[in-house]
Structure 1
């Protein structure tokens, strides 16, 4: 039996979509509204909470209409279909358009105002893997729209025969019709960007490994031990993803030498004082004989030191290594793969 919806009360006409949503959640209260709140992002909660706090008094007629309208719309649905379009329409009813655009761009794929902006944020390796299965003429059109440096990196990743064919077509290419560009954009949007967005959802263990890397050693170990008791698989995964002081032993001699050159000498002496003899040897080997002799003397002159101070100094060297890697001065051996490197 369908619910008969009364005429909208005059008081409700001054409410926008966001205010209606806030009012409905206020009416539902803690018990019935909790499952809905749990599905919202932090930003959505802030938006709705702000609107709710400014609602003022809600007349009984407004409360009744909102509940009846909600019940009527839900009960009339034979089924629900979730898609980008239905999600966007739903969000448009409860928050400003600029917020909707921001959220939908994050959901759909790499950021950027246009398809070509988005494509410029895609790794050349990923893009080349997709393009090598496309028609060379389509690849030529796509690369002609990219920035030259990005197009060059993509070409370098393509098989040579495909790359030469694409370059030849780009040289002969005249003005591309607008309809062709639109068709290519639509293909990229529907086939590539959508799948890429799903594939690129980051493993939360990777983010958590970065958090653990920033902890001091005692906190890190106590937290991982606690995780071992509750979710051993996750604890093991986080450990595997972390880059630790011990991983510095896997670096090439040139990388160790760069770290030694840029490190604070007091910090390095403290870090090595608490390090195994094998690691000390690796660092000493990258110094001149005189510098190594002075470093040993500094370590001996420290006397007894707290283990925590050594661990903090070691964490400092790890942070320095990552900073140098981000600047492209060294490469770090990826602990997830003995043969891979990350820059």
Structure 2
């Protein structure tokens, strides 16, 4: 089975062998080799044959395969410890931390038999705002901790200044919350929109959640929130910065590291991402590709005259996901970026 980037493929029509082949391609050579070592010889031949048939795998199909794999891995946690943790780690290696968190948040299982959250997860940020606008920051932070980063960032953007900083601070300091408390809060919120709660999900608060959230909002808002947090809680602000980095921070990587990053980047994404980049970053990234590739990017950029900001930021996020994937695989050391993250709020 093969596909190109424009062909829509229904994953339900694929065999298990085909799905596994696609998953192993996404996980990379090292992880694929570990999986194949545990298969029978006939199975190895069947899977590798399917892997060889693949060309370009549509993003939609990748997402379906990832979610199906995650559900299977998590269900295994009922008899094998670490199902969620295993799925999280494997996904981070395949698609980066940001997308891994998004997938896990959609398919993570209940921690208790009483359902609680799905109805709210399906709402759009503005609908969520109407529900929580009169709530305390702690309640809003609890809700945000369950949202995918892109939806949580959408809600954060809509909150009034001052409340945003309080929510991020509460999110970063949010510990494990008893499921009974979560269900009681969610039930109250659901009543406002006649939404019936349908399931509980795993708690995801903490500094990392706050960092993921700020990575997903626009740069100006991130600067504003971190600046205000510097005044109210400087230690927490510093901890959040250490867990996040931005597209502009890539200029701090050495040439060898940037070359590793660029090998994973689609040239159209690179052209899009550089539309709002600083000259320093443009020079750094283009110096990490061949002269011909750099010329192609410059030519592509000249045609991108009217591009939506969300498309540019989407391209930048995809590149950052590739960076996080390389970091998770041990191919990149981003400690220097974390150490200089204070530049975000400069």
* TM-score (structure 2 length as normaliser): 0.36
Higher RCO by CA contacts (8 Å cutoff, separation 6 or greater): 2
Pair member with larger Rg? 1
